[in-house]
Amino acid sequence: MNEKTLVKGKIHYVGVNDRNKHLFEGMWPLPYGVSYNSYLIDDGQVALVDTVDACFFEVYLHKIRSIIGDRPIQYLIINHMEPDHSGSISLIRQYYPDITIVGNKQTFGMIEGFYGVSGKCLEVKDGDALPLGHHQLRFYLTPMVHWPETMMTFDETDGVLFSGDAFGCFGTLDGGFLDSRINLDKYWDEMVRYYSNIVGKYGNPVQKALAKLGSLPISTICSTHGPVWTENIGKVVGIYDRLSRYEAEEGVVIAYGSMYGNTEQMAEAIASELSAQGIKNIVMHNVSKSNASYILKDIFKYRGLIVGAPTYCNQIYPEVNALLEKILLREVKGRYLGYFGSFCWAGAAVKRMGEFAEKSKLELVGAPVEMKQSMKEATYEQCGNLARAMADRLKQDRNN
């Protein structure tokens, strides 16, 4: 028995750390890296839960063999098919040709489509059980968290939930993997960033999954990214619950673009007045410098959002436009929205941000501010009015 890999009962951690990749999904920075978690249940029937990115297969196989030696694996349970977890399915099948792949109706077409793998498989339905010996597994379909085939596997013997991406976060596991044995500081913000970037659009399916799993006696959460949760289950489930309800703290994100600093001065004037009005959480992002990943994280964190952009080629400044598209894609709800913009000879940014405001269905506060070329007394006054309207709206919630 290798104590260093043991999670609980006969369940072992066999995941890997990726400190090489710069951008997750080709978009989201990984300053602390990311782990791809997989679990091996060394029971009467041996089962592997999810796999890892194929680049790490040699390390992964070594971890598996250090626990079970040359013994076979009976089951490969696939909770989620995104290739950061399914990438080693084909190689696992090559090394363990008799393995039975366990998935739901949505899973097997994807396995064949991505990897050309078919053969021995076991299709499970919501609530089906799979006894392994000591551990008894039960499957819960949780579609669209955040792909259609996503499901979770619950070990009824020891209360261990294999949750797929749910409750996961960015950040490698440096040394230990149990939350009780590692410093968790870096993971909390990385959890919000992971959720808002990857899962953000799917608040309703996450809520349905939480309702479905709510009555299970969960002692341990084994996600596919980040720590194994034992001591912090209430906190972690609470974070996912709040984020998927689009609940947020009092505060304002000011996300703006600026080529020569004039539009930025509008942002500064708004921020200054927000502060004067007693709003403490003000996060300013120059979209040309802040990666959208972090701006989205803060938008999921705070209730106020003020966006600003110069006019560029008769459109919204493209860097801001790209952010607005990402906000729309996530169908962010429950935010108060204000906007401002500028132009040199013909205004377009403010008008087009009005179209964004309509599409977003967010609650508009204050009058949009439009500036020609540079700040005037009137612009300061209008920016102050917008800030006061936002502060007033946020303060109305203080008594709720």
Q: Give contact residues for ligand FEO (rule: CB under 6 A).
A: 80, 82, 84-85, 146, 165, 224-225
Q: Considering the complex, what minimum distance in angstroms separates the CB of residue 388 from ligand FEO?
A: 42
Q: Give the Cα separation of 223 and 155 in Å (integer).
A: 13
Q: Considering the complex, what minimum distance in angstroms separates the CB of residue 81 from ligand FEO?
A: 8
Torsion of CA 13, 15, 17, 20, to 10 degrees: 180
Q: Is 242 exposed, middle or buried (0-12, 13-18, 19+ CB in 10 A)?
A: middle
Q: Give the Cα separation of 14 and 38 in Å (integer).
A: 5
Of the pair 229, 317, the CB lying nearest ligand FEO is at 229
Q: Considering the complex, what minimum distance in angstroms separates the CB of residue 300 from ligand FEO?
A: 17
Of the pair 150, 382, the CB lying nearest ligand FEO is at 150
Do the Cβ atoms of 35 and 15 come closer than 8 Å? yes
Q: Give the HSE-up count for residue 115: Cα atoms under 13 Å, Cβ half-sphere.
A: 22
Of the pair 133, 148, the CB lying nearest ligand FEO is at 148
Of the pair 25, 358, the CB lying nearest ligand FEO is at 25
Residue 344, CA distances (Å) to 256, 372, 377 in order: 17, 6, 18
Q: Considering the complex, what minimum distance in angstroms separates the CB of residue 152 from ligand FEO?
A: 13
Q: Considering the complex, what minimum distance in angstroms separates the CB of residue 107 from ligand FEO?
A: 14
Of the pair 137, 169, the CB lying nearest ligand FEO is at 169
- Assigned token pair, 117: 């793998």
Q: Considering the complex, what minimum distance in angstroms separates the CB of residue 316 from ligand FEO?
A: 30
- Assigned token pair, 386: 């917008």
Of the pair 42, 84, the CB lying nearest ligand FEO is at 84
Q: Considering the complex, what minimum distance in angstroms separates the CB of residue 166 from ligand FEO?
A: 10
Spatial CB neighbours of 192, under 8 Å, sequence gap ≥ 6: 239, 243, 297, 300, 301
Q: Considering the complex, what minimum distance in angstroms separates the CB of residue 146 from ligand FEO?
A: 6
Q: Considering the complex, what minimum distance in angstroms separates the CB of residue 352 from ligand FEO?
A: 33
Query: What pairing do the DSSP bridges indicate for beta strands 302-312 and 249-256?
Result: parallel
Q: Considering the complex, what minimum distance in angstroms separates the CB of residue 9 from ligand FEO?
A: 25
Closest CA to 89 of 68, 69, 75: 75
Of the pair 224, 342, the CB lying nearest ligand FEO is at 224
Q: Which single residue brings its beta carbon nearest to ligand FEO?
A: 82
Of the pair 93, 146, the CB lying nearest ligand FEO is at 146
Of the pair 76, 386, the CB lying nearest ligand FEO is at 76
Of the pair 85, 297, the CB lying nearest ligand FEO is at 85
